[in-house]
Structure 1
Amino acid sequence: MANWSELPEEIIDLVAKRLPPYPNEFARFSCVCKSWNSVVKKQKSNIIRFAPWLMLARSKNDKQFKKGAIRSFYCHSTKRLFNYYLPQAKRTRCWGTPYGWLLTFGLDLKIHLLHPLSRVQISLPSQPTFEHQHQFDAYCPEHLCQSYFTKFALSSDPSIPESGQCPLVMAIYGEIRYLAVASPGDEVWTSVDCSRSNYQDIIFFNGHFYAISCDGMLRIIEVNTRQPKATDFASPPDNVYICSRFYLVELSGDLYMVERAFDTTDDLPTIPCHNETTYFVVYRFDFRSKAWTEVEDLGDHALFLGNNTSFAISTSDYPEFKENCIYFTDDHSDFYPHGFCDMGIYDIENNTIEPFNFDDHQLSTFSRPVFFMPTL
């Protein structure tokens, strides 16, 4: 059989130009080998933009399912669900980013940055290098994967190192949700001001990390010091509900906070007590007054929240998405059975939720659904 990687570049280029105009087709093409990937990268300007993908659990219908090497993805651009061979994500829980990379935490307790389309991995310090390990001494690896980390955020795109430096990665970890930072090549994670805890989200914005606590307090994180520390930066909005969940997201150069409210439901005979999303409230931050203002219209933008670094897109660039809406996934810490998954599309103007519907075998309490922005 001929070695496809040895085809002349001009032949590969001709084949690539005849692919269907779907991002997942280019993704599969680019993963054949390095030479094919190189051709696709040169054609980036001619390829339609990658819209956010929803990464689901592995498909049990695939022969590789038992090996854990197959993951299912939903592409909104094409309204298609497809399976993708990704052995690097085997036995891992994943978090998404807007840079095309995933954060993976495996049953071997190792943590990686993973670019799923090229399958490139970058190692980060492992889980045992975090402080406060005694809280989880009795936990098995699977339980750790499900509950140890809340969020990750990157300071930059790992594919484009700034000044030759690898990006900083910040994590919310542990039972009390502390902060810690590390870079590829570090031996351990460095904790941030352990007197502060109970964080719910983090973001790198205008050159600084910001974190939001469970009571809505915004803090700025100083990382360029021997001992990183968190400093109170702004109080929560006056009418915020402290039992909600909070997210930080950048939109058109401004910092926003999103409040996600829940209703506790226990009236379904086959599903135990669980929290179900009921509504969202969006706030924009004013750095001059250090105050939040409620926003009722995102214009032609949509937000993506959940097991990912929160991000926004313009629906003018991606018309397949609904404007003034919030796309959200199930990032609860509760261990629900497969029959329930709290994710959908929230219409801000109409205050309605349209749920995502997938087969149960594509949902998992171990590997929760996650949004990310694919890149080649």
Structure 2
Amino acid sequence: MASDFSMLPLDLLGVIALKLETFEDFFKFSAVCRSWNRASSSVKHQWTATPVVPWLLLAENNQDNPDCVRKIYNLSNNKCYNLNLPETFGARCWGSPYGWIAMIDRNYDVILFNPITKAQIPFPCLKSVDDGGVKSKSDGSYQHWFLRCFADRLIVLKVPQNQHYEFVVLVVHVYYRSLSFARQGDQSWTPVLVKSEDQMLDVVGMGDKLFAIYRDGSIVSWNFKEFNALELIKPADYSPCGHEFLVEFNRGGCDHTYLVRSGSDLLTVLRYMDQYDHKEDDTISFRTVDFEVYRFKSKDKSWEEINDLGEVALVVGGNSSMCVSVAHVKGLQLNCIYFTDDECSFWKSVKEPGGHDTGLFDLKTGNIQRFYEGDDMNSSFAPPTLFIPQL
């Protein structure tokens, strides 16, 4: 007689689940049936995975897809998973290292969404935030503009708070390069007082500190403990002087600057891009051609270029920038930068729409290659994004 493994005691199933080593195995275990899902849910806070690698949430497919199936690509084993994710359709998405995808949906609501568990955390609507003077249009173009251009990025932070953690979402606004934040449960977005004389390029959290880099190369920091939804948060200059190589780099047209935390180090990543004019159809496209990485030296407030990341890889682009330990992980390469397409200015290009500029840069050799070759990369408002899955 065939055994019905769904009838195994939950305690026994929990013991089995805790012996699984990889996130992929735990994820598959939880999807077998309801009893196995209950068992995995009951022990997931005790379970420790081997180092988890980023997964790529691919672009949505609206053709012959009534179940709103969306592919997720596992970088470690080159496999795709088909998940029913209607919550993500029509939304602009950014990945994070904490299992959550940060989304702006068609109603301009901000939501943290876990593609694996389907859990959601609502954040305030962005309708009340200044849109830079762009007025709504009845033909729907305003909605498309808002999703594609209004927010340069949503950044998810996991902040220590009274013996536990809470999630904070930061919105970097594309026109003024201004910054707003909201905690779980907030009813509105609180602006963060930034340097008015220059443009903010990126922000990153380190412990209870938040750091921002500006176009002139200066670094500004805030303390999360001072974040209060009742008043503007004033920054303290950390490195008020500019640095010539950053000033010169940031004069470029579509080049990008990122801040990344690597252990106790603060890194800045410079992404060099070439622009191409297609005279036959009067369109413009672009492609990443090089990267440079610099480490911030707090002692003399200077930057030093580095060519060896050690046993880690960096992840930048349409996501919260991440540093991933890959020394004992199959499928990921050391001393490399994984990047996704975040140059929204040209995503409507006919020649090379959004999503095409995604790949892997080897910091030692300077070579660039694709890490995913599928045909489901392109979107005019929400190309693929990398996130680290968690239950």
Measure the CA separation in 2 of the matches of 1:308 and 1:112: 15
Q: Is the 8 A contact 2:77 2:330 kept in 1?
A: no
TM-score of the superposed pair, with normalisation by structure 1: 0.86
- Report matched runs for 1:149-188 at 5 Å: 149-156=151-158, 162-163=162-163, 166-188=166-188
- Report matched runs for 1:67-216 at 5 Å: 69-132=68-131, 134-138=133-137, 140-156=142-158, 162-163=162-163, 166-193=166-193, 195=196, 198-216=199-217
Is 1:278–2:279 an aligned residue pair?
no
Choose which of 238, 260, 264 in structure 1 pairs with 2:244.
238
Which position in structure 2 is the counterpart of 1:350?
365
Q: Is the 8 A contact 2:93 2:101 kept in 1?
A: yes
Segment drifting more, 128-137 vs 359-368: 128-137
What secondary structure is seen at the aligned counterpart in 1 of 2:217? Answer: coil
Q: Is the 8 A contact 2:260 2:323 kept in 1?
A: yes
Deviation, 1:140, is 2.1
What secondary structure is seen at the aligned counterpart in 2 of 1:35? Answer: helix
Q: Is the 8 A contact 1:305 1:328 kept in 2?
A: yes
- Residues 236 and 152 of structure 1, relative CA distance in 2, 3 Å threshold: farther
Which position in structure 2 is the counterpart of 1:368?
383
Letter in 2 for 1:30: S
Measure the CA separation in 1 of the matches of 2:5 and 2:43: 15
Determine what percentage of the aligned residue pairs are the same residue: 27
What secondary structure is seen at the aligned counterpart in 1 of 2:127? Answer: helix
Unaligned runs of 5+ in 1: none
Which position in structure 2 is the counterpart of 1:44?
47
- Residues 60 and 23 of structure 1, relative CA distance in 2, 3 Å threshold: farther
Deviation, 1:196, is 5.5
TM-score of the superposed pair, with normalisation by structure 2: 0.83
Unaligned runs of 5+ in 2: none
- Residues 49 and 222 of structure 1, relative CA distance in 2, 3 Å threshold: closer
- Report matched runs for 1:288-307 at 5 Å: 288-307=299-318
- Residues 76 and 132 of structure 1, relative CA distance in 2, 3 Å threshold: closer
- Residues 216 and 151 of structure 1, relative CA distance in 2, 3 Å threshold: farther
Segment drifting more, 167-176 vs 100-109: 167-176
Cα RMSD (Å) = 3.0
Deviation, 1:363, is 2.5
Deviation, 1:353, is 0.7
Deviation, 1:267, is 4.9
- Residues 311 and 257 of structure 1, relative CA distance in 2, 3 Å threshold: same
Is 1:259–2:270 an aligned residue pair?
yes
Is 1:228–2:239 an aligned residue pair?
no
Deviation, 1:256, is 0.5
Measure the CA separation in 1 of the matches of 2:263 and 2:95: 20
- Residues 37 and 149 of structure 1, relative CA distance in 2, 3 Å threshold: farther
Measure the CA separation in 2 of the matches of 1:80 and 1:60: 22
Deviation, 1:143, is 2.0
Deviation, 1:192, is 1.7
